[in-house]
C-alpha cells in the first residue's frame, strides 16, 4: 500500500453515517429540476435548490441551450484567452456589464473559479485582504492563493471590522471581501456600514452576489443594488448556477481592473471556456428575469409566507432576510436524522454542519424558488414541524 493510501485508509466518517442510514449526500435526482423532483422512484418537494428564479426547467432556457448546441457544438476546446471565445460569450459579458451597471465583466466557467482567481490576482504582496468569518469557501481559497496579508473580522460585526482596519496603513491597498447574502444563514452583509468604513479607511470592496443575483434589487441586480451602493462597490461577483439556471460565473468592475484580470487571471486564461449551451442558457435566463418582474415578486411572496409560518410554528430561523431559511438544530447527529426523516416524508432539505457552520450552530437549510406555491411551502412546514417536535428540537 502506498503512502497516500495508508494515510486515508482509516477515513471512515462518511461510512459511519451510511451504516446508520442517515447519510445525506450525493442523492441522485432522476428528473428535471423543479419544485418537485424524482429520486430513485421517490417524489420529494425540492427545498434544497439554489435556483431562486425557478428557471432551470424553463422551456425557453432549455431551447436556448439546444440552439447553441446545434450552432456551436458541445464545447469550445480551449480557453477564452486563445481559441475558446464565442460571440455569445462576448454578448453575455456586455449584457451583464449593462445589467450590473459596471464598465465591463469577465465570464468564468464556474463561480468558484471567479473568487479563486480574482482574489489571487487583484491583491498581492504589501496589500491586505479582509474577509467576514462566514465568507464562502471560494473566497477563503482565493485569499489563500494571494500574497496579500489575510485578515478577518467576526461575522457582520462592524466594530470588529473597524478594529481591523484601524491598524492598517492608510495608503496600502485594502480589499474588504464579503458575501452579499450569506449562503447558509440567509442574512445580508451590512453593506451600508461596510461602505462607510471603506470611505473612512481608504479601502476597496468586493461583494459576492452569488445568492443575491435574481433575488434582491431592481430586476434582481443583487444586494449592492438593493442598498443603492453599486457605484461604491469596486468589484461584484455573480454566478450562473443559481438564478441564471446554468453553470459559470462572472466578475464585474471598472474597465481597467477587468482589462488587467482578462490578461492575468489564471483561472480565466488557463481554464476551458464555458460551454455554448451553458452560456446561452445563462443569457436567456438573464433576459427572462429582466422582462418578467413577476418572477421575483412571487419569489418574495412565498418567501414572506414561509418566514411567517416557520416563526409561527416556533422554529429558530436566526436573522435570515432572504429565501434561504435556516432551521437550527444545534446537533450534528440530529441534523442528519432530520434530513433523512424529511426525505422519507417527501421533503428535500440540506444539512449544514462544520465546517460550513460552527459545531453548535448546525441546521437544515430550507430554500425557496419563484415557482414554489404557498401550498407546497405549507406541506413542507407541516412535515418539518412534525419531525422537529418528535425529535425534541421545538415544542
Q: Is the pLDDT confidence value at 106 over 80?
A: yes
DSSP state of 188: B
Q: What is the grid cell recorded at 286?
A: 438573464
Both 273 and 315 in one domain: the answer is no
User: Among positive and negative, which fits the CA dihedral 340, 352, 207, 261?
Assistant: negative
Per-residue pLDDT averaged across 29-42, rounded?
A: 92
Per-residue pLDDT averaged across 131-158, rounded?
A: 97
Both 222 and 301 in one domain: the answer is no
**Residues of the chain above pLDDT 70, percent:** 100
Which are the contacts of 19, defined by CB distance < 8 A and separation ≥ 6?
none
For 111-155, strand residue ranges (E) read: 128-132, 149-153
Q: What is the pLDDT of residues 257-297, one digit of tens each?
A: 999 999 999 999 999 999 999 999 999 999 999 999 999 99
Last residue of a domain, which of 242, 264, 291?
291
Both 159 and 299 in one domain: the answer is no
Residue 1 is assigned to a structural domain of this protein: no
**What values do phi and psi take at 337, rounded to 5?**
-65, -45
Q: How many CB atoms lie within 10 A of CB 125?
A: 8
Burial (CB < 10 A; 0-12, 13-18, 19+), residue 382, is middle
Last residue of a domain, which of 241, 267, 291?
291
Both 25 and 86 in one domain: the answer is no
Per-residue pLDDT averaged across 160-185, rounded?
A: 97
Both 255 and 360 in one domain: the answer is no
pLDDT of residue 357: 86
CA distance 90 to 105: 9
CA distance 52 to 371: 9
Range of the domain at 132: 59-291
Both 101 and 118 in one domain: the answer is yes
Q: Is the pLDDT confidence value at 1 over 80?
A: no
Tell me the β-bridge partners of 131: 152, 177
DSSP per-residue string spanning 124-141: -TT-EEEEETT--HHHHH
Residue 126 is assigned to a structural domain of this protein: yes
Nearest to 274 by CA among 115, 91, 78, 58: 78
Last residue of a domain, which of 275, 291, 307?
291
Per-residue pLDDT averaged across 40-65, rounded?
A: 96
Based on the structure, what is the number of domains in the chain? 2
Residue 5 is assigned to a structural domain of this protein: no
Task: Give the lowest-confidence range in 27-41, 236-250, 272-286, 362-376.
Answer: 27-41
pLDDT of residue 41: 85
Residue 175 is assigned to a structural domain of this protein: yes
Amino acid at each position: 500500500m502506498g503512502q497516500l493510501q495508508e494515510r486515508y485508509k482509516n477515513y471512515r466518517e462518511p461510512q459511519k453515517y451510511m451504516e446508520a442510514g442517515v447519510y445525506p449526500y450525493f442523492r441522485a435526482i432522476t428528473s428535471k429540476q423543479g419544485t418537485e423532483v424524482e429520486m430513485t422512484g421517490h417524489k420529494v418537494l425540492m427545498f434544497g435548490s439554489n435556483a431562486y428564479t425557478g428557471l432551470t426547467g424553463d422551456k425557453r432556457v432549455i431551447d436556448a441551450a439546444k440552439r447553441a448546441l446545434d450552432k456551436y457544438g458541445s464545447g469550445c476546446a480551449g480557453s477564452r484567452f486563445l481559441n475558446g471565445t464565442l460571440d455569445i460569450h462576448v454578448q453575455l459579458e456586455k449584457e451583464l456589464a449593462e445589467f450590473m451597471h459596471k464598465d465591463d465583466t469577465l465570464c468564468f466557467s464556474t463561480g468558484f473559479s471567479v473568487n479563486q482567481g480574482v482574489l489571487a490576482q487583484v491583491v498581492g504582496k504589501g496589500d491586505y485582504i479582509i474577509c467576514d468569518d462566514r465568507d464562502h469557501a471560494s473566497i477563503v481559497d482565493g485569499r489563500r492563493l494571494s500574497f496579500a496579508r489575510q485578515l478577518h473580522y467576526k461575522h457582520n460585526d462592524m466594530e470588529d471590522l473597524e478594529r481591523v482596519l484601524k491598524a492598517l496603513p492608510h495608503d496600502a491597498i485594502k480589499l474588504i471581501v464579503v458575501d452579499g447574502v450569506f449562503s447558509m444563514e440567509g442574512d445580508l452583509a451590512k453593506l451600508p456600514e461596510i461602505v462607510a468604513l471603506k470611505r473612512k479607511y481608504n479601502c476597496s470592496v468586493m461583494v459576492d452576489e452569488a445568492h443575491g443575483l435574481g433575488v434582491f434589487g431592481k430586476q434582481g441586480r443583487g444586494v449592492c443594488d438593493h442598498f443603492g451602493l453599486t457605484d461604491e462597490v469596486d468589484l461584484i461577483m455573480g454566478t450562473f448556477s443559481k438564478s441564471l439556471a446554468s453553470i459559470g460565473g462572472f466578475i464585474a468592475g471598472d474597465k481597467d481592473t477587468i482589462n488587467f484580470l482578462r490578461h492575468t487571471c489564471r483561472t480565466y486564461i488557463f481554464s476551458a471556456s464555458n460551454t455554448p449551451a451553458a452560456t446561452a442558457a445563462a443569457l436567456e435566463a438573464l433576459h427572462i428575469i429582466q422582462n418578467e418582474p413577476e418572477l421575483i415578486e412571487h419569489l418574495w411572496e412565498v418567501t414572506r409566507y414561509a418566514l411567517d409560518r416557520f416563526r409561527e410554528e416556533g422554529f429558530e430561523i436566526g436573522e435570515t432576510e432572504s429565501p434561504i431559511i435556516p432551521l437550527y438544530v444545534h446537533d450534528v447527529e440530529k441534523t442528519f436524522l432530520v434530513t433523512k426523516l424529511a426525505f422519507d416524508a417527501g421533503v428535500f432539505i440540506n444539512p449544514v454542519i462544520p465546517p460550513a457552520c460552527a459545531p453548535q450552530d448546525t441546521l437544515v437549510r430550507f430554500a425557496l424558488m419563484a415557482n414554489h406555491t404557498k401550498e407546497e411551502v405549507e406541506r413542507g412546514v407541516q412535515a418539518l414541524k412534525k419531525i422537529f417536535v418528535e425529535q425534541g428540537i421545538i415544542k
